[in-house]
Amino acid sequence: MKNLVISTGAGISAESGISTFRDAGGLWENYDVMEVASHEGFLRNPDLIHRFYNQRRIELTKAKPNAAHLGLVELEKYFNVNVITQNVDNLHERAGSSNVLHLHGELMKVRSLRHEERVYELPCNLLSDKGLETSTHTVDAYGDGVRPHIVFFGEDVPNFEPACRLAAQAHVFVVIGTTLSVYPAAALLRYAPASAQVYYIDPNPASVPSHVHVIAKKATEGVKELIQMLTK
């Protein structure tokens, strides 16, 4: 089977009711990104960051995968599919995607402040707070505080290298629902081989090289069209 690598951003989850970041009404219009999603912001005001991600988790529990997430699962019948996502939601996993690599972390996980390899999936019995909400008082079984398992601006993106290796093996590379404005994620496209077919689904696409086939539609419609093109 050919390798299909799909790089997704906030736009794929928009039709599930999850806010994007930079669209009108997006999260970064209502919150200062440097306060709630940067390393310095976390050092300055960890309470605010816990509250921000607690709200995002509540939002996520109310959301369901949409037809675009499900369409990518259907493509596993025809391709060896790897999804590389900038999203911190778990909608690809809940839709049933087999291979999902998160570039910017995972909302439903927190990790120890002292030992970052100690990662806990929420809800978790090893934490003092056993629900989906955490605070500066939440400790793990070792008595260490925790933080969201999110890549903040100013931090390394440890999954970028494995993502590049996947992109470099793509026969077909698809980008869905991203402004392609955050690096290094936006650079992944450049790692696809010159021989790969490349598609970009977004109702308001960013400018991309001319060899990219742009489908200027919402993710649910665009993925339907993509499936028809790739499987006919």
> Quick check: 148 binds ligand OAD (CB under 6 A)?
no
Q: Find the shortest distance in angstroms from Cβ 97 to ligand OAD.
A: 17
Tokens at residue 97, please? 């995607």
Site for ligand OAD in 52-91 (CB under 6 A): 86
* Positive/negative CA dihedral, 67, 68, 73, 77: positive
Among 53, 177, 196, 199, binds ligand OAD (CB under 6 A): 177
Which residue of 4, 5, 6, 14 would you call a contact of ligand OAD, by CB under 6 A? 14
Task: In angstroms, give the least distance from the CB of 79 to ligand OAD.
Answer: 21
Closer CB to ligand OAD, 140 or 174, in the complex: 174
Torsion on CA atoms 114, 120, 124, 126, rounded to nearest 10: -40
Q: How far is the CB of 88 from ligand OAD (least distance, A)?
A: 7
User: What residues numbered 185-204 form the site for ligand OAD, per CB under 6 A?
Assistant: 202-204
How many amino acids of this chain bind ligand OAD (CB under 6 A)? 24
Residue 111 β-bridge partners: 119, 147
4 neighbors 74 (Cβ within 8 angstroms): no
7 near ligand OAD, rule: CB under 6 A: no
Nearest residue to ligand OAD, scored by beta-carbon proximity: 11
Which residue in 26, 46, 145, 184 binds ligand OAD (CB under 6 A)? 26
Q: Are 89 and 69 in contact (CB under 8 A)?
A: no
Catalytic status, residue 104:
yes
Does residue 20 interact with ligand OAD by CB under 6 A? yes
Q: Of the listed 92, 104, 115, 213, which one is catalytic?
A: 104
If one asks whether residue 182 binds ligand OAD (CB under 6 A), the answer comes out as yes
**Which residues are part of the catalytic machinery?**
104
Q: Which residues bind ligand OAD (CB under 6 A)?
A: 9-11, 14-15, 20-23, 26, 37, 86, 104, 151, 177-179, 181-182, 202-204, 218-219
